[in-house]
C-alpha cells in the first residue's frame, strides 16, 4: 500500500508577511455550568467551570496560528467557539470584520471548516471517499450537476495529494491508512471552499512517520491558497515547526503569544519555559530541570491573580493578588507575567 | 561523552532478560500474520532499553509474547526468553518453557508490567489500598494484614503520592496519579524487570516529564531493569541506555542511545529521527517519511522498508537483510540493511559515532543520558 509521497515542498520555511485578518476573537470567554449530584446528607452543589477567560486571537490569511497548551487549558474550547459549535459566554467573534452572529450558520461554515483529531472516527465507516467529498460540495452548492461534482471531487483529492483520484475515490475509510484518512478529512473541509481551517490536534492520532506529511500538506494549503489555519496542539515542537504565530494557554487564559520562533527561543512566561523544559529533546546536553511542581488548577475555583502562581517557581506576592496585564516583550510578542512589568524588572 | 555519564550506567553487564529469536503469530497456519519475526533483545541488569516503533510494528506484541501474556489468537511460535535471577540460589529459567506454577511465581515478583492504558487498568470499584494489598496477599502470603497495609503506604510514598490517598478510588485521582499508582503496583514485589508499555502516552508533557524522572530515580535506587516501549523516539533518546527500533515486526537497528541519535545506521532510523521537529535552531523543511507501513497480512518479500526508503537497492525488494554489525564504526550495535553490504554507505548513514576516534574502533559507551 503506498501513500502519496509528500516530497519536499519547494517552499522553504520562511518568515511570512502578515496577512489580512480573516477571523478575530475578542475577549472570548466560556463558562460551563456544572452540578454535582447530591450526596447523602449533602446539598446539591453548583459550580462554574471557567474554561476559557478573555482570549484574544487573530487568524490571518496565509498564516498558521498555533494554540498550545496542556489538556484542560481551554484550547479545544477556543476552537469550538470559533467554529460556532460552542456558544461563547461572552466576547466577540469577527469574520472578515463583521460579527459572526450576522452570518447565517451555513454561510459561516462555508468560510470556516474544521479538521478533527481522530480520522478513525470522524469519517463515516459506511460511506466511500466519494460520498464524503460530494456531500459538502452539494450542500454548499459548489458544484453544478453530476459531472461537475465528479470533477470537483477529483480536484479535491488532487489538492490533498491523493493521486490518482481513481485509486481512492471508491474506497471506504477502513481501506485507507491513518494518513490517507486525515487527507480525506482535510479534503472534506476544503470542499466548502473555506478561508479558515480550524485544525484541532490534526496529527496527534497519527503515526510519527506520517505526521510531518500532514503538516506539510496544511503548510502548502496555507502558502498556495492563502488559507488561515488555527493549529491546536499540545506539542510545542510541532507548533514551532509549523506555525507562524503561537499562543500559549494555561488554565483557560493566554499566558504568552507572539511569533513562534520568538516564543520558543526566547520564552518570557514561566509556564512557556516549563512546557519547553518538559518537552522531550534529544539534543539536550544536560538533564532537564523542571522547577515547577504540581498540576493544573481546578477551573471551578481558579487561583486568584495569575492562574499559574501556585506552580510558578518565581512567583511574587503580587502574582496571587492581581491578574498580570499583557506586557509587550518584543515585536508582536506579549507575555502576561508580572516579572515583565516595569515595576518588577529588578527582580529578573 | 559530554553528557553527565554514569547516571544510567548499568551496574554490571550480566543479562537479566535475554530474548532470542522470538517469533509471534496471530492465527495459525497459512493465514497467520507474523507480528514479530526473529526478534533478539537483551536487557542487562539496571539498564533501560527502549523499544521504539510505529503502531502495528509489533513492539507491544514482542513484550507480551516474551512474558506469555499474549491472548488468543496470538501464538509464540519460536524463540527463547531467558530470565536470570540476581540471587545465585535460583537458576535461570526460560519463560517460554516454564511450568504454570513457575510462571505464576515469576510473574510480577520478578517481571512486572505497567500497561498502556493506565487510566483504565485500575479497578474502579476498589480503593488504591486494596489493589496494592491484593497483590501482596497473592504473592507474599507470609505478610500480616498490618504489614501489607504498611507496605502499601510505603509504595505510594515511593512514587510521590502521600499515604493519605490510600483510601482513594481511582476516579478521585488525576491521570498522572493513576499512572503513579500503576508504577507503585508494578514495584510492589521488588521486581528485577519492569516492562512499561507506553506508560506516559496519554499524559501531558509536564506530567510525563515528572513521571519519567520518578521512574529513573527509582531505577537508580532499586536497581531494576526497564524495557520501555513507546512510539516517541525523542523521549527514548533522553531516557534509554540502549534503543531497539522495530519496523514491520522486525528489529531493524539496535544501538546505545547516543550512537543511535548521532550516527543512525538504518535508513528508517535516520528518517524517524528527521520526523521530530527540533526545539532549537533554524527552522528547516522536514519531509517526514513518504508512504505508510506495510500491511502485515501481506508482508513484502524483501526488506519491509524498501518501498519507503530513498536509498533502496534492487536486492532490497527481494531479500530480507540480516541483523548484523554495521559496516563501519562500533561492532557492538546491530543493523538490518543491505546498504551495509555495499562498498560505500550514504553520507547520512555513515556519520561518526560520538566519542569515537577517527581511526580505530570506538570505545563502547553504554552510559545513559537524560
What percent of chain B has a predicted confidence (pLDDT) above 90? 57
ipTM of the complex in this document: 0.82
Query: Model confidence over A214-248: pLDDT tens digits?
Result: 999 999 999 999 999 999 999 999 999 999 999 99
Mutate to test the interface with A, among B2, B256, B289, B296 (most CBs of A within 10 A): B289
Chain B residues within an 8 Å CB radius of A241: 277-278, 283, 286
Name the residue among A212, A279, A295 with its Cβ closest to that of B287: A212
Interchain pair B291, A288: CB under 8 A: no
Closest-CA distance, A196 to chain B, in angstroms, reads 23
- The answer to whether residues A86 and B219 touch, using CB atoms and an 8 Å cutoff, is no
Query: Model confidence over A264-305: pLDDT tens digits?
Result: 999 999 999 999 999 998 888 777 777 777 778 888 889 999
User: A212 to chain B: nearest residue by CA?
Assistant: B288
Name the residue among A208, A210, A286 with its Cβ closest to that of B4: A286
**pLDDT exceeds cutoff 50 at A141:** yes
What pLDDT score was predicted for residue A133? 95
What pLDDT score was predicted for residue A38? 65
What pLDDT score was predicted for residue A5? 40
Intra-chain end-to-end CA distance of chain B, in Å? 13
Interchain pair A237, B277: CB under 8 A: yes
**pLDDT exceeds cutoff 60 at B1:** no
Closest-CA distance, B222 to chain A, in angstroms, reads 20
**pLDDT exceeds cutoff 60 at A207:** yes
Interchain pair A6, B210: CB under 8 A: no
Interchain pair B290, A265: CB under 8 A: no
Interchain pair A3, B209: CB under 8 A: no
- Asked if A277 has any chain B CB less than 8 Å from its own CB, the reply is yes
Q: Give the helix/strand (H/E) hosting A53.
A: strand A46-60
Q: Is A272 exposed, middle or buried (0-12, 13-18, 19+ CB in 10 A)?
A: buried
Interchain pair B277, A212: CB under 8 A: yes
| Range name among A7-11, A305-309, B229-233 with the lowest pLDDT average | A7-11
What pLDDT score was predicted for residue A153? 94
The pLDDT-based confidence of B118 (bands split at 50, 70, 90) is low
Q: How far is CA B94 from CA A132, B39, B40, B190, B298, in A?
A: 53, 16, 14, 20, 31
Number of A–B residue contacts, CB under 8 Å: 149
CA A272 to chain centre: 16
Query: Model confidence over A314-342: pLDDT tens digits?
Result: 999 999 999 999 999 999 999 999 999 98
Please give the average per-residue pLDDT across B304-308, as a whole number.
93
What pLDDT score was predicted for residue A319? 94
**pLDDT exceeds cutoff 70 at B361:** no
Q: What is the mean pLDDT of chain B?
A: 87
**pLDDT exceeds cutoff 90 at A1:** no
Interchain pair A237, B2: CB under 8 A: no
Please give the average per-residue pLDDT across A33-37, as a whole number.
76
CA A284 to chain centre: 27
User: A10 to chain B: nearest residue by CA?
Assistant: B285
Interchain pair A211, B280: CB under 8 A: no
Chain A residues within an 8 Å CB radius of B275: 208-209, 211-212
- The answer to whether residues A162 and A187 touch, using CB atoms and an 8 Å cutoff, is yes
- Asked if A7 has any chain B CB less than 8 Å from its own CB, the reply is yes
The pLDDT-based confidence of B206 (bands split at 50, 70, 90) is confident
**Pairing label, strands A98-99, A112-115:** unpaired
Q: Nine-digit cell at A67? A: 494554540
**pLDDT exceeds cutoff 50 at B12:** yes
Beta-bridged to residue B322, according to DSSP, are none
d(CA A127, CA B62): 35
Q: What is the mean pLDDT of chain A?
A: 89
What pLDDT score was predicted for residue B282? 85
Closest-CA distance, A108 to chain B, in angstroms, reads 33
Beta-bridged to residue B42, according to DSSP, are B18
- DSSP type of residue A325: P
Mutate to test the interface with A, among B3, B288, B355 (most CBs of A within 10 A): B288
What pLDDT score was predicted for residue A263? 95
pTM of this structure: 0.86
| Range name among A6-15, A228-237, B19-28, B311-320 with the lowest pLDDT average | A6-15
Write down the residue that cell numbers 463558562 correspond to: A31
- The residue ranking higher by pLDDT, B357 or B57, is B57
Interchain pair B288, A209: CB under 8 A: yes
What pLDDT score was predicted for residue B210? 87
- Asked if A175 has any chain B CB less than 8 Å from its own CB, the reply is no
Closest-CA distance, A236 to chain B, in angstroms, reads 8
Sort residue A73 into left (φ over 0), alpha (ψ -120 to 50) or beta: alpha
Interchain pair A240, B279: CB under 8 A: yes
- The residue ranking higher by pLDDT, B367 or B92, is B92
Closest-CA distance, B370 to chain A, in angstroms, reads 5
Q: Nine-digit cell at A192? A: 466548502
Interchain pair B238, A11: CB under 8 A: no
Please give the average per-residue pLDDT across A82-100, as a whole number.
94
Interchain pair A2, B276: CB under 8 A: no
Name the residue among B2, B174, B237 with its Cβ closest to that of A282: B237
Chain A residues within an 8 Å CB radius of B290: 3-7, 213
Q: How far is CA B238 from CA B216, B229, B241, in A?
A: 11, 14, 9
Name the residue among A7, A13, A284 with its Cβ closest to that of B284: A13
Three-state DSSP state, B54: coil
Chain B residues within an 8 Å CB radius of A3: 290-292
Query: Model confidence over B210-245: pLDDT tens digits?
Result: 888 989 999 999 999 999 999 889 999 999 999 999
DSSP one-letter string for B163-221: GGGTT--GGGS-HHHHHHHHHHHHHTT--SEEEEESTTTTS-HHHHHHHHHHHHHHHHH
- The residue ranking higher by pLDDT, A218 or B353, is A218
| Range name among A55-64, A128-137, A312-321, B12-21 with the lowest pLDDT average | B12-21
Query: Model confidence over B133-150: pLDDT tens digits?
Result: 999 999 999 999 999 999
- The answer to whether residues A79 and A230 touch, using CB atoms and an 8 Å cutoff, is yes
Name the residue among A3, A236, A290 with its Cβ closest to that of B209: A290
Preceding peptide of B73 cis, ω within 30°: yes
Amino acid at each position: 500500500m503506498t501513500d502519496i509521497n509528500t516530497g519536499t515542498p519547494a517552499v522553504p520555511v520562511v518568515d511570512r508577511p502578515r496577512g489580512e485578518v480573516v477571523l478575530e476573537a475578542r475577549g472570548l470567554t466560556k463558562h460551563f455550568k456544572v452540578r454535582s449530584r447530591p450526596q447523602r446528607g449533602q446539598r446539591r452543589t453548583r459550580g462554574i467551570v471557567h474554561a476559557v477567560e478573555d482570549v484574544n486571537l487573530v487568524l490571518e490569511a496565509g498564516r498558521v496560528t498555533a494554540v498550545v497548551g496542556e489538556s484542560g487549558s481551554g484550547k479545544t474550547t477556543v476552537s469550538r467557539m470559533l467554529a460556532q459549535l460552542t456558544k461563547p459566554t461572552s466576547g466577540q467573534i469577527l469574520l472578515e470584520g463583521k460579527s459572526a452572529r450576522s452570518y447565517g450558520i451555513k454561510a459561516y461554515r462555508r468560510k470556516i471548516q474544521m479538521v478533527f483529531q481522530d480520522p478513525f472516527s470522524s469519517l463515516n465507516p459506511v460511506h466511500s471517499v466519494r460520498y464524503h467529498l460530494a456531500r459538502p460540495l452539494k450542500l454548499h452548492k459548489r458544484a453544478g450537476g453530476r459531472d461537475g461534482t465528479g470533477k470537483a471531487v477529483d480536484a479535491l483529492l488532487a489538492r490533498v495529494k491523493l493521486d490518482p483520484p481513481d485509486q481512492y475515490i471508491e474506497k471506504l475509510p477502513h481501506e485507507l491508512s491513518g494518513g490517507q484518512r486525515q487527507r480525506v478529512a482535510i479534503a472534506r473541509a476544503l470542499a466548502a471552499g473555506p478561508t479558515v481551517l480550524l485544525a484541532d490536534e490534526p496529527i496527534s492520532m497519527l503515526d510519527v512517520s506520517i505526521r510531518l506529511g500532514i503538516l506539510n500538506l496544511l503548510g502548502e494549503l496555507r502558502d498556495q491558497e492563502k488559507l488561515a489555519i488555527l493549529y491546536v496542539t499540545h506539542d510545542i515542537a510541532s507548533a514551532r515547526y509549523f506555525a507562524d504565530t503561537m499562543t500559549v494557554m494555561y488554565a483557560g487564559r493566554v499566558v504568552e503569544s507572539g511569533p513562534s520562533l520568538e516564543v520558543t527561543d526566547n520564552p518570557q512566561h514561566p509556564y512557556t519555559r516549563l512546557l519547553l523544559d518538559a518537552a522531550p529533546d534529544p539534543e539536550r546536553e544536560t538533564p532537564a530541570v523542571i522547577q515547577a511542581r504540581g498540576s493544573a488548577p481546578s477551573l471551578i475555583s481558579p487561583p486568584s491573580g495569575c492562574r499559574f502562581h501556585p506552580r510558578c517557581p518565581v512567583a511574587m506576592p503580587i502574582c496571587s493578588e492581581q491578574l498580570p496585564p499583557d506586557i509587550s516583550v518584543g515585536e508582536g510578542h506579549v507575555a502576561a507575567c508580572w516579572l515583565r512589568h516595569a515595576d518588577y524588572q529588578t527582580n529578573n | 561523552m559530554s553528557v553527565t555519564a554514569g547516571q544510567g550506567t548499568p551496574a554490571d553487564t550480566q543479562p537479566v532478560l535475554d530474548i532470542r529469536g522470538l517469533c509471534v503469530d496471530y492465527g495459525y497456519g497459512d493465514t497467520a500474520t507474523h507480528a514479530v519475526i526473529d526478534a533478539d533483545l537483551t536487557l542487562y541488569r539496571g539498564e533501560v532499553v527502549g523499544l521504539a516503533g510505529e503502531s502495528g510494528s509489533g513492539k507491544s506484541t514482542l513484550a507480551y509474547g516474551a512474558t506469555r501474556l499474549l491472548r488468543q489468537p496470538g501464538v509464540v511460535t519460536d524463540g527463547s526468553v531467558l530470565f536470570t535471577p540476581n540471587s545465585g540460589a535460583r537458576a535461570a529459567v526460560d519463560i517460554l518453557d516454564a511450568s504454570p506454577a513457575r510462571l505464576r511465581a515469576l510473574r510480577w515478583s520478578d517481571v512486572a508490567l505497567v500497561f498502556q492504558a493506565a487510566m483504565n487498568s485500575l479497578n474502579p470499584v476498589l480503593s488504591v489500598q486494596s489493589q496494592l494489598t491484593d497483590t501482596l496477599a497473592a504473592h507474599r502470603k507470609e505478610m500480616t494484614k498490618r504489614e501489607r497495609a504498611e507496605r502499601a503506604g510505603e509504595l505510594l510514598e515511593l512514587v510521590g503520592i502521600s499515604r493519605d490517598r490510600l483510601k482513594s478510588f481511582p476516579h478521585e485521582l488525576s491521570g498522572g496519579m493513576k499512572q503513579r499508582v500503576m508504577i507503585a503496583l508494578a514495584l510492589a514485589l521488588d521486581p528485577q524487570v519492569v516492562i512499561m508499555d507506553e506508560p506516559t502516552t496519554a499524559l501531558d508533557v509536564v506530567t510525563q516529564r515528572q513521571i519519567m524522572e520518578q521512574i529513573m530515580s527509582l531505577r537508580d535506587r532499586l536497581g531494576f531493569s526497564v524495557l520501555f516501549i513507546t512510539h516517541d523516539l525523542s523521549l527514548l533518546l533522553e531516557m534509554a541506555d540502549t534503543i531497539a527500533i522495530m519496523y514491520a515486526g522486525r528489529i531493524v537497528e539496535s544501538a546505545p542511545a547516543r550512537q543511535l541519535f548521532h550516527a543512525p545506521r538504518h535508513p528508517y532510523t535516520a528518517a524517524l529521527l528527521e520526523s521530530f521537529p527540533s526545539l532549537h535552531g533554524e527552522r528547516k523543511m522536514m519531509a517526514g517519511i513518504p508512504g505508510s507501513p506495510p500491511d502485515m497480512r501481506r508482508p513484502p518479500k524483501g526488506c519491509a522498508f524498501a518501498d519507503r526508503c530513498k536509498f533502496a537497492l534492487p536486492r532490497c525488494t527481494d531479500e530480507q537483510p540480516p541483523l548484523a554489525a554495521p559496516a563501519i564504526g562500533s561492532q557492538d550495535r546491530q543493523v538490518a540493511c543491505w546498504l551495509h553490504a555495499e562498498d560505500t554507505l550514504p553520507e547520512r548513514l555513515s556519520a561518526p559515532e560520538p566519542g569515537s576516534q577517527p581511526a580505530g574502533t570506538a570505545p563502547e559507551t553504554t552510559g545513559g543520558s537524560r
